[in-house]
């Protein structure tokens, strides 16, 4: 078993194990706090996304959720490796995490790059860390509240899409077999 050093989390102050994903998260948090004018209170950490596929419970994870004044605005997921291949999973978590509306934006991020994603229109909007909107710009991008709700006839498809993107690293998960035992979003 790998032992990790413990470092203070920039938003909670608590000591956390510095896994690869946690190191990316803390670096990106430092960037958002000190260069993009967000506050520690603007973030929720490790938000669970519960959903069902074929009557089976599944759970995915949003590493950080930008939530300002009770409004979830950006779902952020971290991973090592390619961000482009993980964009769909990030969009799906943002479309499913809130029951009454689609979180309008998501970020898929690795140690060197990030994709800022439009979750209403399901498309990439901006690439590179430096191009991520600062807090004031982000708030200006929210023209009406709440954003649209997930259409009922699209929820099952979005759940299947999230399962397909997140199940690859989940022990026991299979979209074809009966041995499916649930799924937690794992980082490569």
Contact 32, 39 (CB under 8 A): no
Closest CA to 49 of 148, 172, 183: 183
Print pLDDT tens along the chain (188 aa).
Answer: 778 999 999 999 999 999 999 999 999 999 999 999 999 999 999 999 998 888 888 899 999 999 999 999 999 999 998 898 899 999 999 999 999 999 999 999 999 999 999 999 888 889 999 999 999 999 999 988 888 998 988 999 999 999 988 875 343 333 333 333 444 444 43
Give the separation between CA 61 and CA 42, rounded to whole angstroms.
Answer: 18
Predicted structure pTM score: 0.86
Helix 152-166 to helix 87-96 angle (10° resolution) is 140
| pLDDT of 168 | 54
């Amino acid at each position: 078993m790998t032992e990790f050093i413990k470092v203070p989390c920039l938003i909670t102050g608590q000591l956390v194990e510095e896994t690869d994903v946690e190191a990316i998260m803390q670096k990106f948090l430092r960037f958002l706090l000190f260069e993009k004018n967000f506050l520690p209170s603007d973030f929720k950490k490790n938000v669970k996304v519960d959903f069902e596929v074929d009557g089976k419970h599944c759970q995915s994870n949003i590493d950080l959720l930008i939530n300002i004044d009770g409004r979830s605005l950006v779902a952020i997921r971290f991973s090592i490796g390619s961000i482009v291949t993980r964009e769909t999973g990030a969009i799906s978590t943002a479309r499913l995490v809130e029951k009454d509306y689609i979180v309008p934006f998501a970020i898929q991020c690795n140690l060197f790059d990030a994709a800022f994603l439009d979750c209403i229109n399901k498309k990439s909007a901006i690439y590179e860390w430096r191009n991520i909107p600062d807090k004031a710009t982000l708030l200006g991008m929210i023209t009406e509240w709440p954003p649209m709700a997930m259409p009922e006839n699209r929820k099952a498809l979005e759940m299947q899409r999230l399962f397909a993107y997140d199940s690859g690293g989940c022990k026991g998960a299979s979209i074809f077999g009966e041995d499916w035992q649930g799924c937690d979003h794992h980082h490569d």
